[in-house]
Structure 1
């Protein structure tokens, strides 16, 4: 299922669809299917304009980012922090022997902020290797090195090196954390990813509280803001479409109880 989802998404993402339509249109121009060729080229242009410049991706990602507010940290103390992989450029870190983070870097910085705020809380990082073509580079190894260098005590950190997707994140994190009744565990992941992650953790029997990070929008006012770089708009569109598709597939396969989990 992991390989099917990876290959399926490679072909289905909107940015790849632009390339397919362009190539198909150019190839068909040399045949008698002139009308089909023109339709493919027009479709590619429309997708670049609507998906890359107009705020379509913002309309899709905002409901996901706004779904789960941050947990109320007053009251009972926090017993543990779960952080999902995805912020590490593990292959770059491994090849260059440096710390390398991507746009989701707040997953790591917010985890450290929470760890300092709650010095008795355990920290569980879950993330293995998601590469299917390039050599294996394990997210957990890169993350552990970074967290240690940022001051997290080694005895507070547990890492899962096996999980390749969010479904496995939930299963392996629960095994490592072994949460007790009444304990409070925060889940740190990107705000747009939080609904799917919460649904999968709930189905796995691990009650967690949301601590969303890595917002891609500033709020509802962004619904009127176009993109000045089509590549940025298409990148966000890829992210939003992948999350909505992931929510549907998780519900369809029984890994989550609802398409769009509620707080």
Structure 2
């Protein structure tokens, strides 16, 4: 199954995309008014529930706290021998950069990895698709003024990130490395980076990064960014389940 097909299925199975399936099911049940209304009501309610900031945070905290934040990670001993940055997403509509720019999630990872490099001098490996790595390299070297040692540009999933990166680093004689990715993605990343030739250590970032209105009752008012955050969390929980079965 290619990436486009798998993401299409995911968007249709997770809220709010699965509202399409609820509507189609309701249409099939139009002769049974009670069943039809129940299906429609269920679809609407589940979308409203995961749009609540309190629900989004519960889903995220369960992911982020599996690998709690470590202040001044570069002071921990012993240090690994390399830094691995996992690709995220590109901004192909960034006309001001001729369409060659990483999107916000990827920029956060590059920023933290550049920070770790400046503190330690450790070499960096970029992991992702060919186009993704190309953009990441430009940002890393031109914007953050940080050199790149290796690039793994064949992967399209976190599982492939781990497999291809591990072979590349092992061939280079590297025995340990930090994996730089978001706190909500780290559980799935560490699940597939475990038990490899190289020892991988978490370098998580962006804990609790949200812009919710947290004032009293607003915590219980549906918000668009809460819906997006819940969708990200559900994607990760399902990914953990799928990788667990595969492993």
Same fold by TM-score, threshold 0.5 exceeded?
A: yes
Supply the distance in 2 between the matched residues of 1:72 and 1:103 (Cα, whole angstroms): 22
State the partner residue of 2:18: 17
1:216 corresponds, among 208, 212, 215, to 208
Supply the distance in 1 between the matched residues of 2:106 and 2:112 (Cα, whole angstroms): 11
Supply the distance in 2 between the matched residues of 1:175 and 1:92 (Cα, whole angstroms): 34
State the partner residue of 1:125: 126
CA RMSD of aligned residues (A): 2.7
Task: Give the match's secondary structure for 1:164.
Answer: coil
List aligned pairs for 1:86-105, cutoff 5 A.
86=88, 88-92=89-93, 96-105=98-107
Task: Give the match's secondary structure for 2:31.
Answer: coil
Supply the distance in 1 between the matched residues of 2:224 and 2:182 (Cα, whole angstroms): 21
Does structure 1 residue 141 correspond to structure 2 residue 140? Answer: no
CA contact (8 A) 2:11 2:18 kept: no
Supply the distance in 1 between the matched residues of 2:116 and 2:181 (Cα, whole angstroms): 13
Q: Encode CA deviations 1:63-116: one digit per residue, 9 max, x unaligned.
A: 210111335633334421001000x41533598344342245311110111111
Cα 1:93–1:62, aligned 2, differ >3 Å: closer, same or farther? Answer: same
Task: Give the match's secondary structure for 1:187.
Answer: strand
Task: Give the match's secondary structure for 1:163.
Answer: coil
Q: CA deviation at 1:22?
A: 4.2
Uncovered stretches (5+) of structure 1, i.e. residues with no partner = 130-137, 255-263
Cα 1:194–1:209, aligned 2, differ >3 Å: closer, same or farther? Answer: same
Q: CA deviation at 1:228?
A: 5.1
Count of aligned pairs: 235
Uncovered stretches (5+) of structure 2, i.e. residues with no partner = none
CA contact (8 A) 1:78 1:118 kept: no
Supply the distance in 2 between the matched residues of 1:98 and 1:217 (Cα, whole angstroms): 25
Supply the distance in 1 between the matched residues of 2:161 and 2:92 (Cα, whole angstroms): 20
Does structure 1 residue 241 correspond to structure 2 residue 234? Answer: yes
State the partner residue of 2:31: 32
TM-score normalised according to structure 2 size: 0.82
Supply the distance in 2 between the matched residues of 1:205 and 1:55 (Cα, whole angstroms): 40
State the partner residue of 2:59: 60
Supply the distance in 2 between the matched residues of 1:206 and 1:33 (Cα, whole angstroms): 59
Cα 1:122–1:103, aligned 2, differ >3 Å: closer, same or farther? Answer: closer
State the partner residue of 1:151: 145
State the partner residue of 1:6: 7
